[in-house]
Amino acid sequence: MRIPRGVSSTIGYLLDNIIPPALRDAKWFMTPMMRLVLGPKYKAYMGFKKNLAHMTNAQIDSLYESLADTFIERDTDLNQESVSFILKNIVGESVIDVGCGRGYLTRAIRAEFEKEALSVSGFDVAVNPGFRDGVTYEKGTVLRLPYEDNAFDTVVCCHVLEHILKIDSALKELKRIAAKRLIIVVPRQREYRYTFDLHIHFFPYMFDFERLVGSKSAKFYKMGKDMLCIDDM
């Protein structure tokens, strides 16, 4: 499915904030909608939250891979305000986009700093390793980043942590490889039993995000449906 970020955000807002919670969590109400949008694999989404307690990280990764053809296709989950903000807050001589997906943000960073000696890297569980478009890509899991401590001046991680079962371990890894600045973006979203994504963690309020990051020096911002954090090491 290819749906613009603005459209999907509007639909998500209406579902999560206008429809009463009792109706939003009702199986009879959500099933026809999920089946229409997701097709034959809708049952995997319907049972995701219930089955999550018994799943390992490997099983979750395998499920994501099997459902890849049902994901919304778009260049990035970020809104443009967040993209612009991130580009203005890159510091140092090296940056990595952890959870780079299709590489939209990494390419945007490379283009923004085209005339500067900035080393740009992308990292994702599903990326093809190699060097292209001026970016070095590596494949792996955020729970075990294959880099030394303080390996990058700026570490960026957008719309990733909500998918990670061991979220504290992932955050610790991000902080470990960040020498100067860590930039994190998560979606502002309420938790419901049935959702059109496979999110494990939800951040309906800014204080939920602040509690996760757990840093007194961090600065937090709301940008549409995005919540953004900048934490200087």
**Cα separation, 183 vs 86, whole angstroms:** 8
Can you give the CATH number for the domain in which 97 is found? 3.40.50.150
Higher pLDDT, 122 or 68: 122
Q: How confident is the model at residue 10 (pLDDT cuts 50, 70, 90)?
A: low
Any domain includes 158 = yes
* pLDDT, average across residues 109-131: 90
Phi, psi (degrees; rounded to nearest 5) at 127: -85, 155
pLDDT recorded at residue 17:
76
Any domain includes 91 = yes
Instruction: Name the residue range of residue 54's domain.
Output: 5-70
Residue 41 and residue 121 in one domain: no
* pLDDT, average across residues 15-27: 86
Q: How confident is the model at residue 4 (pLDDT cuts 50, 70, 90)?
A: very low
Q: How confident is the model at residue 218 (pLDDT cuts 50, 70, 90)?
A: very high
Q: How many Å is the Cα radius of gyration of the chain?
A: 18
Any domain includes 75 = no
Q: Report the percentage of the chain scoring pLDDT > 70.
A: 93
Residue 86 and residue 9 in one domain: no
Q: Are 193 and 227 in contact (CB under 8 A)?
A: no
What is the number of alpha carbons within 13 Å of residue 181 lying toward its C-beta? 18
pLDDT recorded at residue 151:
97
Higher pLDDT, 142 or 62: 142
Residue 61 and residue 140 in one domain: no
Give the end of a domain, one of 45, 70, 95. 70
pLDDT recorded at residue 58:
82
Q: How far is CA 205 from the centre of its chain?
A: 17
Residue 98 and residue 162 in one domain: yes
Q: How many domains does the chain have?
A: 2
**Cα separation, 45 vs 8, whole angstroms:** 17
Residue 121 and residue 227 in one domain: yes
Give the end of a domain, one of 52, 70, 88. 70
| pTM of the predicted protein model | 0.88
Residue 179 and residue 225 in one domain: yes
* pLDDT, average across residues 74-100: 90
CA distances from residue 186 to 24, 30, 68, 163, 200 in whole angstroms, order as listed:
22, 24, 20, 10, 12
